[in-house]
């Protein structure tokens, strides 16, 4: 099925083969689930601007990188090992990748000059953020571990110059120096979502530096005298007040 709106022709179903009849090559948005080599031929869709992709291997990614009009890519279940081909996408503004267990570093990011939104999940081999320092156009950044594996880097210092950042999410992510000082200069930062892997004092100092920042841990400190005290109180409350059984 296709629909037409102000963005152009959109494929609104998950496609599994580029050989499917009736797919308009004028489509600007596409949902695609790859099965083996079923992605072959996707480079024909020269007008694509936004794609949601499922099961992306190296061959699939290389073909996607031929679509020079792409502005937004969302990838789930990535198995590609080399992301440098993305530098061939000069208009890419939004990049979301779930699954990067085979990616060793973020050096490829430095080639993506137009990025405004970057979200990566489960890039467990990445240990440094130096390559992000050049991404000064970013307004939103998410660096997330998986449900079971924490992402751990040396420090947040490389992102201290991303002065346009408004949203920062660090789920199951920790800086080994246990410092949030690198965020002090991010005057436009509105929301910080992070695990409680830092001392209370780091959050207190951060709020002083950025009084308009929203972070859930600030209320834990205010209401309970400390983050860990607040967590303990919540756990005890849940244990003592279990939800009623389902009917």
> By C-alpha distance, which of 7, 44, 46, 48 is closest to 31?
48
Residue 112 has pLDDT above 70, yes or no: yes
Structural contact between residues 136 and 165, judged by C-beta atoms closer than 8 angstroms: no
- Residue 7: pLDDT above 50? no
- Output the pLDDT for position 3: 27
Q: Where residue 4 falls among pLDDT bands split at 50, 70, 90?
A: very low
Please compute the mean of the pLDDT values over residues 21-31 and round it to a whole number: 76
SS3 (DSSP) at 61? helix
pLDDT at 146 over 90: yes
Count Cβ neighbours within 10 Å for each residue of 67-101 and write b for 16 or more, e otherwise: beebbbbbbeebebeebebbeebeebbbbbbbbbe
pTM of this structure: 0.88
Quickly tell me which residue has 């690198």 as its tokens: 182
Residues sharing a CB contact under 8 Å with residue 6, sequence separation 6 or more, in sequence order: none
pLDDT score at 99: 94
pLDDT in tens, 74-95: 999 999 999 999 999 999 999 9
Is a pLDDT exceeding 80 seen at residue 9? no
Average pLDDT over residues 99-115: 95
The token duo for 96 is: 């979301």
């Amino acid at each position: 099925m296709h629909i037409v709106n102000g963005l152009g022709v959109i494929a609104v179903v998950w496609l599994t083969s580029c050989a499917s009849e009736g797919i308009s090559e004028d489509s600007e948005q596409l949902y695609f689930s790859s099965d083996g080599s079923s992605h072959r031929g996707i480079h024909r869709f020269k007008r694509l601007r936004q794609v949601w992709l499922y099961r992306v291997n190296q061959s699939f990614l290389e073909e996607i990188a031929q679509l020079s009009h792409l502005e937004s890519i969302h990838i789930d279940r990535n198995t590609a090992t080399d992301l440098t081909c993305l530098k061939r996408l000069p208009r890419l503004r939004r990049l979301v990748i779930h699954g990067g267990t085979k990616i060793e570093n973020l050096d490829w990011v430095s080639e993506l000059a137009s990025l405004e939104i970057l979200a990566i999940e489960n890039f467990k081999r990445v240990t440094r953020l130096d390559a992000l320092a050049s991404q000064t156009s970013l307004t939103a950044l998410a660096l997330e571990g998986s449900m079971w594996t924490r992402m751990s880097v040396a420090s947040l210092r490389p992102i201290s110059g991303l002065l346009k950042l408004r949203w920062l999410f660090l789920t199951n992510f920790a800086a080994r120096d246990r410092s949030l000082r690198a965020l002090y200069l991010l005057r436009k930062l509105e929301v910080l979502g992070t695990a409680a892997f830092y001392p209370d004092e780091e959050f207190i100092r951060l709020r002083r530096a950025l009084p308009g920042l929203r972070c859930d841990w600030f209320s834990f400190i205010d209401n309970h005298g400390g983050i860990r005290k607040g967590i303990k109180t919540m756990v005890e409350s849940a244990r003592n007040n279990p939800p009623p059984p389902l009917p």
